[in-house]
Amino acid sequence: MTGYVFPESFVWGSATASYQIEGAATEDGRGRSIWDTYSHTPGRTLNGDTGDVAADHYHRWREDLGHIADLGLGAYRFSIAWPRVQPGGSGKFNQAGIDFYSRLVDGLLERGVRPVATMYHWDLPQELEDAGGWASRETALRFEEYAAGIVGALGDRVHTWTTLNEPWCSAYLGYASGVHAPGRTEPAAALAAVHHLNLAHGLAGRVVRETAPAADLSVTLNLHVIRPASDSEADRDAVRRIDALANRAFLGPMLDGAYPADLLTDTASVTDWSFVHDGDEKLIAVPLDVLGVNYYSSTLVRAWDGVSPRSDADGHGKSAATPWVAADDVDFLPQPGPYTAMGWNIDPEAFTELLLRLHREYPGQPLMITENGAAFDDVVSADGTIADDRRIDYLHRHIAAVADARAQGADVRGYFVWSLLDNFEWGYGYDRRFGIIRVDYDTQVRTWKQSAHWYKRLAATGRLEPATS
């Protein structure tokens, strides 16, 4: 692509999540979440890092809003911590928690920035996990109550309500491979979690439609672009199976109103899916104003022959248990580099492919890039600058990939860089830095990396210069 100018209506934003930046884990009545428990369990996170303090955003939110405004961004995607606004996950709401988000939303509006609020970015109240977590239908019902509370309080001051962030991770990493909270390794529970997260989305979506009709409704999915190692029928079938677990388990009920038949057959040895009740799928298919897409890297699979050494290089962390329920006969192959500090391959073409697939399969469904970005080992030079050329290059190539998809007809309305700030990167703790703004965790000083300056220029002009190589 030889340069591209995004229209003025294209939204430039940045994204964060509550547990990754807020800190203040025990302040103002906040309850505990599964991530508090998980990160405080020895051996679960790199260096034993926890989100207790994180980027201290709970106390520094005004300064952080200042950065968003200085960057000239039109939108900010943040998440609401369920245990901060409804400790325990049922019953009474915590006014201090609601006030925090209310001030944040007003602060964004005062600065002309659209608030895009995610209801659930993985911090489930621990009490609900103790009662079964996402493997239990009750959790979806509790989520509806929580949604009613926050939508009632913030309503259409929030421009876009996003029900869930990456339910794939919540279900499969949380309940099958256990590399995310709550750290369970129960394949049947993972599939039940898939459904109850989908159901939670439908129930909360209905709340938004009824309580804040002027607000946009969305959900954010981490869709996988899956390629076969060869053109053999077996490898192509491996793609189909992983596509069912990774993508169609969510796209199916949310956008087509039904689970794909092959998913149910593929997983029949694990569950009979009797947790799907009559009417659930219809409820889940609540119409979306925008579908949120998170993209970082691509996936390469082959049918496993049962004897050759496996790679299991799916990029989703190391565990003895697989996140890929009932797909032991599929192997994930290492991919050609270059890689980010996460070990994820850099593959912008796959991003274009994904957006075009969505455009083809769901014509008329507007799309929003709700996360894209890269971790690299940043170096602070003697004069304090952070020349993160590789991050700029990554962003440049991926935004060009979005431009390519748009040029071919995909209705992509905006782009949120992950992330505004360095933050607690889940199992990788503070070791992996995704921010366009550096956080010094000793002093909490924020410093713009070169990528922040670059992104500010892009947001101001909408003009993406051709990539240099």
* Residues near ligand FCB (CB under 6 A): 17, 20, 165-166, 169, 222, 294, 371, 418, 425-426, 434
Whether 207 contacts 180, CB under 8 Å: no
| CB closer to ligand FCB out of 14 and 271 | 14
Is 134 assigned a ligand-binding role in the annotation?
Answer: no
Please state whether 46 falls in left (phi above 0), alpha (psi between -120 and 50) or beta: beta
Active site annotation includes 371: yes
Q: Which tokens sit at 307?
A: 């004897």
Active site annotation includes 145: no
DSSP 202: H
| CB closer to ligand FCB out of 17 and 226 | 17
CB of 61 to ligand FCB, least distance (A): 18
CB of 429 to ligand FCB, least distance (A): 11
CB of 201 to ligand FCB, least distance (A): 15
| CB closer to ligand FCB out of 161 and 275 | 161
Is 20 assigned a ligand-binding role in the annotation?
Answer: yes
Is 296 assigned a ligand-binding role in the annotation?
Answer: yes
| CB closer to ligand FCB out of 180 and 406 | 180
From CA 49, how far away is CA 302, in angstroms rounded?
35
Is 324 assigned a ligand-binding role in the annotation?
Answer: no
Q: Calculate helix-pair angle for 95-110, 137-154, nearest 10 degrees.
A: 50
367-371 and 330-332 as β-strands: parallel, antiparallel, unpaired? unpaired
DSSP letters, 421-457, are: B----GGGGGGS---SEEE-TTT--EEE-HHHHHHHH
CB of 183 to ligand FCB, least distance (A): 17
CB of 418 to ligand FCB, least distance (A): 5
Which of 185, 316, 173, 172 lies closest to 244 in space, CA to CA? 172
Which of 405, 468, 469, 466 lies closest to 4 in space, CA to CA? 466
Amino acid at the residue 259: Y
Is 339 assigned a ligand-binding role in the annotation?
Answer: no
Which of 339, 334, 248 lies closest to 299 in space, CA to CA? 334
Set 22, 129, 166, 281: catalytic member: 166
| CB closer to ligand FCB out of 102 and 319 | 319
Residues annotated within a binding site: 20, 121, 165, 296, 418, 425-426
> Catalytic positions, please?
166, 371
Residues annotated within a binding site for substrate: 20, 121, 165, 296, 418, 425-426
